[in-house]
Amino acid sequence: MKKIHTILTAALLAVGMSSCDMEKYPYNAVEESLYMTSANDFANARIGLYSYYRSLTTGGYILLPEMQCDDFNATVGFSNTYGAAYRWDFQMSDGNIAGYWGNYYSLIARCNYFIDSYKKIEASEQSNFSEADMAKIKAYVGEAYFTRAFSYFNLVNHFCKAYNSANAETDLGLPLQLTYAPTSNSATYPGRSSLKATYEQIVSDLTEAKNLVNNAVALESGKAAINYVSSDVVTALQARVALQMKDYGTAVTASTSLIASNTYALINSAEAFRSMWVNDMGSEVMWQIYMSSDELGSATGTSFWGQYQTDPAKVTVDYVPSGSLTDLYDQENDIRFAAFFEPFTLNVSTGASGDIYLFDKYPGNPDIYSVVNVDNHYVNKSKPFRIAEQYLIAAEAYAGQGNVTEAAKYLNDLKRNRIAGYTDRTFNSAELLMAEIRDERHRELVGEGFRLSDLKRWGLGVNRQNAVQDANLVLFPGSENTTALTKNADDFRMVWPIPKAEIDVNPQIKGQQNPGY
Summarize pLDDT for 79-94 with one digit per residue, the tens.
999 999 999 999 999 9
Query: Mean pLDDT across the stretch 31-50?
Result: 85
485 in Cβ contact with 78 (< 8 Å) = no
**Reported confidence tier of residue 124, pLDDT bands at 50, 70, 90:** confident
How far apart, in whole angstroms, are the C-alpha atoms of residue 58 and residue 503? 27
**159 phi/psi in degrees, rounded to 5:** -100, 5
Task: For residue 361, tell me if it sits in a domain.
Answer: no
Q: State the pLDDT at residue 178.
A: 97
75: alpha, beta or left? (left if phi > 0; alpha if psi -120 to 50): beta
Whole-angstrom Cα distance, residue 396 to residue 254?
Answer: 13
In a domain, 333, yes or no: no
In this predicted structure, the answer to whether residue 14 has a pLDDT above a threshold of 80 is no
- Does residue 517 belong to any structural domain of this protein? no
pLDDT tens, 329-385?
Answer: 999 999 999 999 999 999 999 999 999 999 999 999 998 877 655 666 899 999 999
Would residue 331 count as lying in a domain? no
Torsion, CA 109, CA 111, CA 116, CA 121, rounded to 10: 150
pLDDT in the model for residue 132: 93
* Mean pLDDT to the nearest integer, 148-154: 98
Quote the distance between the C-alpha of residue 267 and its chain's center: 22
Nearest to 492 by CA among 128, 161, 149: 161
pLDDT tens digits, one per residue of 432-473 = 999 999 999 999 999 999 999 999 999 999 999 999 999 999
The pLDDT, as a whole number, for residue 162 is 98
**pLDDT over 50 (residue 6):** no
Kindly state the DSSP code that residue 228 receives in the 8-state scheme.
S
Taking 90 as the threshold, does the pLDDT of residue 280 lie above it?
A: yes
Tell me what the mean pLDDT of segment 209-221 comes to: 94
> What percentage of the chain exceeds 70 in pLDDT?
92
CATH code of 413's domain: 1.25.40.390
Q: What is the pLDDT of residues 423-434, one digit of tens each?
A: 999 999 999 999
The arithmetic mean of pLDDT across residues 205-211, rounded, is 98
**Averaged over 399-426, what is the pLDDT?**
97
Q: What was the pLDDT predicted at 398?
A: 98
Q: Of 25-34, 132-141, 398-407, 492-501, which gets the smallest average pLDDT?
A: 25-34
- The chain-wide mean pLDDT, for the chain, equals 92
Query: Does 425 reside within a domain?
Result: yes
Is residue 483, in this structure, part of any structural domain at all? yes
Q: What percent of the chain has pLDDT over 90?
A: 84
What is the number of other CB atoms lying within 10 angstroms of the CB of residue 6? 12
Q: Bridge-partner residues for 73, per DSSP? A: 320
| CA 415 – CA 427 distance, rounded (Å) | 14
Q: What is the predicted pLDDT for the residue at 374?
A: 61
In terms of residue numbers, what domain contains 206? 2-294+383-471+478-505
As a whole number of angstroms, the distance between CA 31 and CA 36 comes to: 11
pLDDT band at 278 (very low <50, low <70, confident <90, very high): very high
Q: What is the DSSP letter of 499?
A: P
Indicate whether 242 belongs to any domain: yes
Q: 19 pLDDT band (50/70/90 cuts)?
A: very low
The answer to whether residue 306 scores a pLDDT higher than 70 is: yes
Give the model's confidence band at 293: pLDDT under 50 very low, under 70 low, under 90 confident, else very high: confident
Averaged pLDDT, 305-321: 89
Identify the band that residue 183 occupies on the pLDDT scale cut at 50, 70 and 90. Answer: confident
- Whole-number Å distance between alpha carbons of 204 and 178: 12
Instruction: Tell me what the mean pLDDT of segment 407-421 comes to.
Output: 98
Asked whether 87 and 482 are in contact (CB, 8 A), the reply is yes
Residue 335 falls within a domain, yes or no?
A: no
Quickly state the pLDDT bin for 2 (edges 50, 70, 90). very low
Residue 7 reports pLDDT greater than 60: no
pLDDT classification of 33: cutoffs 50, 70, 90: low
Distance CA 318, CA 297 (A): 19
Residue 334: φ, ψ to 5°: -85, 120
Q: Which DSSP symbol is given to 267?
A: P
Residue 309, pLDDT above cutoff 90: no
Q: Which helix (H) or strand (E) holds 486?
A: strand 486-487
How many independent structural domains does the chain possess? 1
The 3-state secondary structure of 303-347, one letter per residue: HHHCCCCCCHHHCCCCEEECHHHHCCCCCCCEHHHHHHEEEEEEE
